[in-house]
Amino acid sequence: MPDLETDAVEADTDVTIFVCTNCRAEGDASVRPGVPLIEALRVAASGKPLKVKPVSCLANCEKGPSAAFNHRSGWSYVFAHLSLEKVDDIVAGAMMLVEDERGFLPLRGRPSCLRGKGMTARIPPFHHHEDMPQ
Ligand code: FES
């Protein structure tokens, strides 16, 4: 049975930020930095077309804390080495993905924590055309 309240909220969501709750802090395996990161992201994303959800693992465990952006009809991205200090940049990057009409996260202007060693993977949308070399 559909949850009408949740579905109504989802309709206003263009990008979901999934944050791993199982990544361990470097040097202290009892600390799970994704948990406070979720709370901080929810505050920073308030009023924006973003949703922040916990997820138990993104298969990016050696590079945690990890999170992913999932665009409703566009690309998805997995990020590494995140922290509370990067909350504003994470939300700024998620809004870049919201605002891109292709559902693509542009490299130009992207916060530094979401590129280079901070980025693990990007996954095309379901409807993506084929990229065969010519
Ligand atoms: S435990 Fe966080 S990505 Fe696997």
Model confidence pLDDT, tens digit, residues 21-78 = 999 998 899 999 999 999 999 999 999 999 999 999 999 999 999 999 999 999 999 9
Q: Give nearest CA residue, ligand 1 atom 1.
A: 23
C-alpha dist (Å) from residue 33 to 9, 23, 66, 116? 26, 7, 9, 21
Partnered with residue 44 across adjacent β-strands are: none
Q: Give nearest CA residue, ligand 1 atom 2.
A: 23
CA of 34 to the centre of ligand 1 (A): 9
53, burial (CB in 10 Å: exposed 0-12, middle 13-18, buried 19+): middle
The structure tokens listed for 110 are 């992207």
The structure tokens listed for 31 are 């600390």
Distance from C-alpha of 45 to C-alpha of 88, rounded to nearest angstrom: 9
How many beta carbons lie within 10 A of that of residue 4, not counting itself? 8
CA of 19 to the centre of ligand 1 (A): 9
H helices then E strands: how many in the chain?
Answer: 3, 5
Give the residue among 27, 111, 19 at the shortest CA–CA distance from 65. 19
Task: Return the best residue to mutate from 18, 19, 22 for the ligand 1 pocket (most ligand atoms within 8 A of CB).
Answer: 22
Ligand 1 pocket, residues with Cβ under 6 angstroms: 20, 22-23, 57-61, 64, 66
Give the chain's domains with CATH numbers: 4-123 (3.40.30.10)
Answering whether pTM is above 0.75, one says yes
Lowest pLDDT segment from 7-11, 26-30, 106-110:
7-11
Task: Return the best residue to mutate from 18, 19, 23, 53 for the ligand 1 pocket (most ligand atoms within 8 A of CB).
Answer: 23
